[in-house]
Structure 1
Amino acid sequence: MKKNAVFVYSDELLTYKFHDKHPFNQKRLQMTLDLLKKHHAINDEDIVEPRIATDEELELIHDPGYVNAVKLAGQGMLTEEKGANFGIGTEDTPIFSKMHEASALLVGGTLTAVDQVMTGQTKHALNLGGGLHHGFRGKASGFCIYNDSSVAIKYMQEKYNARVLYVDTDAHHGDGVQWSFYDDPNVCTLSIHETGRYLFPGTGNINERGQGKGYGYSFNIPVDAFTEDDSWLEAYTTAFREVAEFFKPDVILTQNGADAHYYDPLTHLSSTMQIYREIPKLAHEMAHEYCDGRWVAVGGGGYDIWRVVPRAWSLIWLEMTENRKNTGALPPDWIEQWQTESPVTLPMEWEDHAGIYQPIPRKPEIMEKNKQTLEKALYPIRSNRKTSTSNGGFK
């Protein structure tokens, strides 16, 4: 019988580790799975082990010379000068032992999720180890060595002839995925992120709409710094619904960075756990409306690994499995176990309490600015819809 969802995980995913003080910390995977187990929301039979992506699969997106450089770096055989040319050995993406193997496993985890969904073994699949959306064809960037989402999309095109809608809710723009398919009309990318005026990577403007045959298939909603829940959700909900209706995908791939939260140390948005309840809910609805349920979800950013990421990512799994036990108190034994390691007081409940931050002074201005941004970003869809309606419907 087809499952509702599978959870891709093995402890080997924790080997993607730059160093102890690096903000990208895969302990959040462990904490999320432990939260789900202690919440009695996942069983061993729900878990599927990731495989390592082959060189051939990585080279669907990445240059062979770059893949070889990553291998050499992980063996301590790449010079600093050559590493810099490939974006590895930097402060953001330092070299670590066996980095190729660890990175290829993250990609393979997303491919495992894809195969589970596209072969009909499950409706939905979650690989929280993935979501490394800043990786480029020949260069590492922003904590990302290989770009698992880009590889997975190209893999779905070649193996399953699928039209893919990629939706990215990380606070940082999903630049690597966007540029990978910027001229491809069979891949539609939608990224809702903090404006690049203040934040890495500095891209994701509304006028980045694609090029050539891919023009009109790239959508960006750059929200203002300090954006709160209601304004963020208006942008997300409106854009996702209208883009899905416009593109009519065969499968939806969502990137679920959990760094738009107020507590995140690397970003400047003011959302709470409310958005992380709504993000997977709408993705689930759209997958069933357009794709017969086909939904692959990956992780991404998220740098408050104690208070934010485990709750946010657990809510994806709870939504996938239609588990409505997602409010109220967190499992006391989970809090007790992880509080000994946490430098901050862990939350006691799934929700955030009101008043976790001071009122935002420019709230009406920020909301109005985001509303205008949303309208400009969706203008091509809306104008085409009006034209088509006046001409007697879509042709």
Structure 2
Amino acid sequence: MSQNAVYVFHDDELRYRFNDTHPFDPERLLMTRDLLEKAGALQPSQMREPRAATEEELLLAHTPEYIAEVKALSEPAPSEQAIADSDRFGLNTEDTPFFPGMHDVTRRIVGGSIEAADIVMSGRADHALHLGGGLHHALPNKGAGFCVYNDASVAIAYIRKRYGVKVLYVDTDVHHGDGVQWSFYHDPHVCTLSFHETGKYLFPGTGAPNERGEGEGYGMCVNVPVEPYTEDDSWLEGFDEALERVVRFFKPDVIVSQHGCDAHALDPLAHVHCSTRIYMEMPKTIHSLAHQYCQGRWVALGGGGYDIWRVVPRAWSFLWLTMTEHPLLERLRQEPDLPLPAAWLAEWAGKSPLELPPTWLDAVHEWTPMPRRDEITEKNRRTREISLMYVPK
């Protein structure tokens, strides 16, 4: 088993919590780490602690005015002026409300993604995983979609500035990776590929096939939206084709990927009807292409995922198992009904308001075909042809 991967995490990241009723719950980070440890798949020697990002690093993707506002709203008692300005900066909404200590905890998350990038680009490891990251909706001067600072954009800009290489950003979250897309919309050295549910019905409402980049960056932005109720086969067919074509065309030096796991049928905030199978298969494709085209260089970040009990820990675990080429993965392909570790189930069953799944993969009988399966699959194929019309086969 390869040990050439690192797992970046710090307990401070658990403080990225808007309020007790908000769907973005950092407890999922603990549950995932605990599952991997109880499965014997994560060792202390593989873990690294991130530093906090500096203000100079935050400025790679955010405006000075926005950073100043985040700082002001992070105080225990923000000034009246800061609160008055919070709407303009997107930090006083139901999705992204300001909270005490917001600046410090979020720059720790940004630092984690920079640390993962540095580890990979310096050759200390082929792969690095930072599940606390993936806050892909934040814009240069505005918070949005549960995201205060955009750690993915900062990490990519950091790679560009320090190492000067071509970066492919792959976004597998069910919500369009808008913040990262707009950050590099004119940059020919950063290609963004987002695979997501169509914005016709889902936040942030962007990510149409005709968003292709501008100026020198035209053609470096690829969006592949899918229909609501898309199932595993159609999702994976589209993902594999799009990623393989984009990688062959762009020939990146490093892949930075975002792994929201909210395309699952049980996720409460979207409409896609996939199972845990896609979260075992997508990393496999990325891993193979990273070794084929990028000398193995692959930085993976977390993202969305709001059924934190039944979906996120298993989905994110498959990502780490792929990075480390753990033998458990091959066993799962032979035994799809392999049970989760009994010690993990015992640890979390009493805390979960929902019955935890007993197996690593969803039982096949749980996922009956949707009534419009063929129609949805065909619609996804037609959309994908438009999305990839300028990407050579």
Separation of aligned partners in 2, 1:77 and 1:24: 23
- Please tell me whether residue 98 in structure 1 is matched to residue 98 in structure 2: no
Aligned to 1:373: 383
- Please tell me whether residue 224 in structure 1 is matched to residue 227 in structure 2: yes
State the Cα distance separating 1:96 from its structure 2 match. Answer: 1.0
**Residues 3 and 324 in structure 2, CA contact (< 8 A), matched pair in contact too:** no
**SS of the residue 2:115 aligns to:** helix
Aligned to 1:193: 196
- Please tell me whether residue 109 in structure 1 is matched to residue 112 in structure 2: yes
Separation of aligned partners in 1, 2:320 and 2:390: 34
State the Cα distance separating 1:20 from its structure 2 match. Answer: 1.0
State the Cα distance separating 1:359 from its structure 2 match. Answer: 3.1
**SS of the residue 2:241 aligns to:** helix
Separation of aligned partners in 1, 2:368 and 2:313: 24
Equivalences for residues 235-384 of structure 1 within 5 A: 235-326=238-329, 327=332, 328-382=338-392
**Residues 190 and 220 in structure 2, CA contact (< 8 A), matched pair in contact too:** yes
Separation of aligned partners in 2, 1:167 and 1:134: 14
Deviations 1:256-296 (A, max 9, x none): 00000000000000000110001110110010011100000
The amino acid that maps onto 1:338 is: W
Aligned residues: 382
Match of 2:175 among 166, 172, 182: 172
**Residues 192 and 221 in structure 1, CA contact (< 8 A), matched pair in contact too:** yes
Separation of aligned partners in 2, 1:345 and 1:333: 15
Alignment RMSD: 1.0
Separation of aligned partners in 1, 2:306 and 2:340: 20
Equivalences for residues 123-138 of structure 1 within 5 A: 123-138=126-141
**Residues 173 and 193 in structure 1, CA contact (< 8 A), matched pair in contact too:** yes
- Please tell me whether residue 29 in structure 1 is matched to residue 29 in structure 2: yes
Separation of aligned partners in 2, 1:246 and 1:359: 34
Q: How many percent of aligned residue pairs carry the same amino acid?
A: 54
The amino acid that maps onto 2:40 is: H
Aligned to 2:19: 19
Separation of aligned partners in 2, 1:329 and 1:191: 32
State the Cα distance separating 1:381 from its structure 2 match. Answer: 1.5
Separation of aligned partners in 2, 1:275 and 1:314: 13
**SS of the residue 2:85 aligns to:** helix
State the Cα distance separating 1:375 from its structure 2 match. Answer: 1.0
- Please tell me whether residue 183 in structure 1 is matched to residue 189 in structure 2: no
Aligned to 2:335: none
**Residues 53 and 108 in structure 2, CA contact (< 8 A), matched pair in contact too:** yes
**SS of the residue 2:87 aligns to:** helix
Deviations 1:17-63 (A, max 9, x none): 10111000010000000000000001111100011000000000100
**Residues 3 and 121 in structure 1, CA contact (< 8 A), matched pair in contact too:** no
**Residues 159 and 165 in structure 2, CA contact (< 8 A), matched pair in contact too:** yes
State the Cα distance separating 1:3 from its structure 2 match. Answer: 4.8
State the Cα distance separating 1:358 from its structure 2 match. Answer: 4.4
Equivalences for residues 121-160 of structure 1 within 5 A: 121-160=124-163
Deviations 1:5-25 (A, max 9, x none): 000011111011101110000
Aligned to 2:88: 85
**SS of the residue 1:349 aligns to:** coil
Please, what TM-score do these two structures have when normalized by structure 2?
Answer: 0.96
The amino acid that maps onto 1:340 is: G
Separation of aligned partners in 2, 1:359 and 1:189: 31
Greater alpha carbon shift after TM alignment, 89-98 vs 226-235: 89-98
The amino acid that maps onto 2:70 is: V
Separation of aligned partners in 1, 2:91 and 2:366: 37
The amino acid that maps onto 2:305 is: G
Unpaired runs of 5+ residues, structure 1, are 386-395
State the Cα distance separating 1:105 from its structure 2 match. Answer: 0.6
**SS of the residue 1:325 aligns to:** helix
**Residues 276 and 361 in structure 2, CA contact (< 8 A), matched pair in contact too:** yes
**Residues 3 and 123 in structure 1, CA contact (< 8 A), matched pair in contact too:** no
